Structure 1
Amino acid sequence: MSQVFKGCCAAFLYGVLLATSLGGLPASAGEGGLYRKAGGIEAYIGFVPAEITQGHAATQADKPMHDGVPRGHHQYHLVAAVFESDSGARISDAMVTAQVSGLALSGPRKAMDPMTIAGTTTYGAYFELPGADLYTIVLTIKRAGATKPVTLKFTYDHRNP
């Protein structure tokens, strides 16, 4: 099987996975799990193994998605879909950061890059989830013209990935 074909298949699979898991979500789901709402913003998050993103199309001209797929075990791609609470419209003009921390630890904070998949904008970044743990994910969303960012806190159970 050619490398081009493998890359296209991986990109297609990744796009389908994200589109079905985040793209069709209504912005009115109940509170809890991988969904949070505060300050007029709603967000859904999800993790996929980093190797699934291998071969995904560049997010900017001549630049691989998030500077490339990290190597090594326990690498995951965090994806966030962000919406306006009132209208349900997808937010594509925000600066989004995420901090992923294991139980009783302070994890790294990273800027999440905007991505267009299946005609919709989501935000993504790679994180290491080194073990079976409960992880706290803190999303900070700053929209252009907003006086303060909105912070959303999630809990992700990675004990049975």
Structure 2
Amino acid sequence: MQFIKMITNLKTSIIAALALTFVELAIWEIYWRSIEFYLILDANDSFWAKQRRKTEKTTVNDMILMGSSRALFDIQLNSREKETGIQPFQLACAYNSPLPVFQDLVRTVFVGVTPSLFFSTTSPKVQTSQWRQSRVDYYNNRIYALFFTTNLLEILKADEILVQTKPQY
């Protein structure tokens, strides 16, 4: 009898803890949305490499997006897929030239760039070229442990961070 009472108390405690967690999570989410913050994925090398790996099996009809912040933030992937029926591969990266990626891919691609970044230089000694080249190098030299970690983080959404407010018009 005492065991049944203990199990009942345990169930009640677990339900109360889950309810409290849900309420706290809802309050936290409402707070951040009320001050106009939103979540974006952390654009790290692992997630970029995962997208790059998907491009290995592309055909002539597939779409690869590369470039700087214009291609990264201004092209709505879901809208583009609805319009064309093709799910684009997003390889753009803010504040970087797409040239190292372009040299790595050399396929039919849509390039969205800031002219000063794209046409500035092709020298690998320039910082913006080094940043992009580091992603290409990371992709070519990645290990399976990081591939596993990236997939696990994507499932857990541990990479979501608060970084930017909504634009004011």
Q: TM-score range by the shorter chain?
A: under 0.3
Larger Rg: 2
* Bigger share in strand: 1
TM-score using structure 2 length = 0.23
TM-score by length of structure 1 reads 0.23
